[in-house]
A and B are shown apart, each in its own frame.
Chain A
Amino acid sequence: MNNYHYLIIGNGAAGMSAAEVIRKRDTRGRITIVTDEPYLFYSRPGIAYYLAGQVPGDQLISRRESFYRDHRMDLRFGSIKRLDLEAKLAFFDNDEPIAYDVVLLATGATAVRPPFVGGDLDGVLTFDNMDDVKKIIAHGRRAKAAVVVGGGITAMEFAEGLQHRGVRTFLLQRKDRVWPRLFDPRESEIIETAITREGVKLLYNEEISEILGKKGKVRGVRLKSGKEIECQIVGVAIGVRPNLKVVEGLPIEQDRGLLVNPFMQTNIPSVFAAGDIAQVYDRWTRNHNLDVLWPSAINEGRAAGTNMVDFAHGKDTQFHYQKGSPFNAALLFGVHLTVIGQVGGQPAENGEELLHMSRGASTVWTSPFSSNYRSAWDIKGPNSIRIVMSNNRMMGALLMGQQQLADPLRRLIENEVDLEPYQDQLLVDDADLPEKILRAWQNWHQSWQ
């Protein structure tokens, strides 16, 4: 029996969960993980809590050397610059080749560089990985004020973290409210209230026209309105893009990410992809979608790993991955937020989202519906629930504040529960909505048990 070599490019959630599954299913095979970051596996979403001072950076590392050793995972620090698909070879930056039987591309996504004049000044920072946070913390010690630009979860966490570190922070919004593509105006308002309460200053309908510098360092920004703000940090969180560099010039099918079949396999059978880089079929929107989400990356990594073992052994790949409802939970300025499935946001304008997307988000959330949909609301102070239904099915939900119904809603959505008997009651905006959801869920749950 052969010892097959599994090469995994990327040491994030997708790469690690693939490696774990491979080791479980093939105790003899060789596993090599390549990472271009100088760290063991760490919690990428956790960098927000590190920046906010809730946890030390070292604590984010959740697999120690002993884990890699015990599971015989060879971790190589470096970057793979190209693949030879015919010879099944990967090449490191220094042209050192490494042979594989099957390879997983789990290279993730990277923050989009600032497109402004002055974007290369010292003090213009992104917030996307462990090294970024270390830089932000170092700059934050000397900075008095910061301007953060961006509309998603990352931008909010960036602003919150800087403010916590004693830096007076401005958060620029291109539109007249926060995250208008995803949030309803009332939901934006809940978050805006929380942001303002923390002391972060929100500026609406504003964009950076130029970053101003002095001796190579940031000294302020000029906005499109002509207004100038003095600051020492410009935080750029305008989105991420899948890291596709390693497949440049290769005949691997791609769109915005790498297109994979239900086995997480690209059109080249020995090349699998998972995580932020993989564009996976979604049965609700009937499209291949990109998720830049931790739970999606874990599930895709496991599916890919399972099938890679079969592939290496010359068997048919069997694990048919069915993408679940994209889901994320976050804590923004003290407000708990959960987004599940399609919540009926607005389509992208001028193809802006075709260029890059927000970390911690899915293109499914704001995908247009293929049939009629209706939504219902309940909002009490800082707590809100919004459900979206179509054809007697729950399609999506967005919860702020209290989260008790997050899990029941996720199950109703994931399992495509027929809610025909409840639909008319559910689709009334009133204060009893949480109770009605609970009742529908309990009835289904009992019959299902």
Chain B
Amino acid sequence: MFSKIRNLFAGPILPEPDAVKPPEDGLYQVAADASRCVQCGICGFNCPVGIEVREYARRGQNVTDSRCISCGECIAKCPRGTLNWGPVVLLRDDNSLEVDPDSLPVMLQLQPRDVK
């Protein structure tokens, strides 16, 4: 796993368009780190289906809009690294959140969300 991290550091500065496609194994949603967001709205402006992504980013929530086509445009265009692929957040019967820890790829383990 650590060797993968090293590879990340050898990569290009900006993600290539392909690099923002979600990892193929497991289920992913666009996840947001609210503390990096300045509400500029570039995410929603570039969303091909018109989702107000910044409303999710403001609250630090995953983009759960059913129209999301997982194209990764918002992740690629965000100038502040607010958005990333995160594991799908599921609701348990008691309404608490559930995350499958095995579905976390290396990059996402680096940026855990406050999900319980």
Contacts and interface: CB of A to CB of B under 8 A. Distances in A.
A327 B79 contact: no
A338 B58 CA distance: 19
Interface string B1-37: 0100110111101100000000000000000010110
Contacts, number: 93
Contacts of A119: none
Interface in B101-116: 107, 109-112
Interface stretch (B39-47, B67-75, B88-96): B39-47
A55 interface: yes
Given A382-B13, A383-B13, A49 B79 contact: yes
A55 B45 contact: yes
A407 B107 CA distance: 11
Given A407-B110, A435-B6, A336 B41 contact: no
Interface in A370-424: 378, 380-383, 401-408, 410
A382 B58 CA distance: 30
Nearest to A445: B112
Contacts of B39: 43, 46, 62
B111 A404 contact: yes
Nearest to A408: B110
A213 interface: no
B97 interface: no
Contacts of A406: 81
Given A383-B13, A404-B5, A59 B45 contact: yes
A112 interface: no
Contact of A43 (B14, B38, B81, B112): B38
A56 interface: yes
A331 B79 contact: yes
Nearest to A332: B79
A62 B41 contact: yes
Classify the interface of chain A: helix, strand, loop or mixed.
mixed
Contacts of B77: 54
B79 A438 contact: no
Given A434-B5, A435-B2, A55 B42 contact: yes
B40 A45 contact: yes
Given A55-B45, A434-B6, A435-B2, A404 B40 contact: no
Nearest to B44: A59
A56 B13 contact: no
Interface residues of B, number: 30
Contacts of A381: 10
Contacts of A445: 112
A327 B35 contact: yes
Q: Which of A62, A335, A338 has the most CB of B within 10 A?
A: A62
Given A43-B40, A62-B54, A382-B13, A330 B111 contact: no
A407 B109 CA distance: 11
Contact of A46 (B10, B14, B36, B40): B40
A403 B40 CA distance: 20
A173 to B, nearest CB: 22
Contacts of B38: 43-46, 294
Given A45-B38, A49-B40, A62-B54, A402 B111 contact: no
A362 to B, nearest CB: 15
Interface string A23-67: 000000000000000000001111011000011100110100000
A329 interface: yes
Nearest to A294: B38
Contacts of A44: 38
Nearest to A52: B79
Contact of B13 (A49, A335, A407): A335
B79 A54 contact: yes
A402 B40 contact: no
Contacts of A62: 39, 41, 54, 58
A60 B13 CA distance: 26
B110 A55 contact: no
A295 interface: yes
Given A60-B41, A404-B111, 13 more contacts: A55-B40, A59-B41, A330-B79, A331-B79, A336-B13, A380-B10, A401-B13, A402-B11, A404-B8, A404-B110, A405-B110, A435-B5, A438-B110
27 contacts: A43-B40, A44-B38, A45-B40, A46-B41, A46-B42, A54-B77, A59-B41, A59-B44, A60-B40, A62-B41, A327-B35, A331-B80, A334-B13, A334-B14, A336-B13, A338-B81, A380-B9, A381-B10, A383-B10, A402-B8, A402-B9, A404-B107, A406-B81, A407-B33, A407-B110, A435-B5, A438-B5
Interface of A: 43-46, 48-49, 54-56, 59-60, 62, 294-295, 327, 329-331, 334-336, 338, 378, 380-383, 401-408, 410, 431, 434-435, 438-439, 442, 445
